[in-house]
Amino acid sequence: MISIRSLDLSAVDHLGPRARRCIYWQTDGDSTSGTPGDPEFEKEAWISHVSLEWGVCGQIARAADRPAAAAFYAPPGMIPRASCFPTSPVGADAILLAGMSVEGSAPAGVLTSLLDAVVVDLRSRGIKAIEAFGVTSENTGEIASRDGCGADSCVPATSFLIEHGFTIIAPHETHPRLRLDIQSEHLWKADVERALDQLFAERGFATRRLGVLSGASARAQAARSRAPRY
């Protein structure tokens, strides 16, 4: 079972080793600026700064009481890497999805659950949209270097983002920029249903039949059902 909690200053120790050491988004990739210091310290300092200045900046997923994955997000001005992509800059009204780190042996569907939680949090704060830089190729060049963070990837696949409702607004061969508009009534309704399901499940009651999706999961399923079949 996957459980998710918001990332604040009290939850840093709940991050898995990959998420805690990845500082790809917290550096600008400029080799002239020197080698970053201790990755864990750098990451914790960034979380502390953003949390104090802006608020919750991530979601943490756990499975079998172990770290499974984490997603980070913040205004683009607080993310050094945000201006380094060929499809920069991020829209002025959007929050940037700044990395989705998956730990080893994480269960299937964990990234969808994380994205659901990100959408719920940002909509509750009046945010209009989420933008993200996707990656479409394994040969991504220096722009997608991992700065020694040790993670397999901290830039989400373009295909994953599209499956979950994002649309490409700045095309590029390897690093398109995508956007998800999150202020809409039908998505709000899906999130209410999701919250009610979770509340009742915690008390041992079922509210809907298993397999009914909401939030990002529902958008992914709807997109697949509309896709042409050959």
Residue the block writes with tokens 């269960």: 107
Domain ranges for the chain: 2-186
Q: Tens-of-pLDDT digits for all 230 residues of the chain?
A: 889 999 988 899 999 998 998 888 988 866 545 555 788 999 999 999 999 999 999 999 999 889 999 999 999 999 999 998 999 999 999 999 998 988 887 888 899 999 999 999 999 999 999 999 998 876 555 555 545 554 446 888 899 999 999 999 999 998 999 999 997 654 555 555 565 566 556 555 544 443 334 455 455 455 545 555 44
Instruction: Enumerate the H helices of 67-208 as residue ranges.
Output: 110-124, 158-163, 185-202
* Superfamily of chain region 2-186: Gcn5-related N-acetyltransferase (GNAT) (3.40.630.30)
Q: What is the DSSP letter of 205?
A: -
Is residue 44 within 8 Å of 68, Cβ to Cβ?
Answer: no
| Peptide bond connecting 39 to the previous residue in cis, omega within 30 degrees of 0 | no
DSSP assignment of 65-79 equals TEEEEEEEEE-GGG-
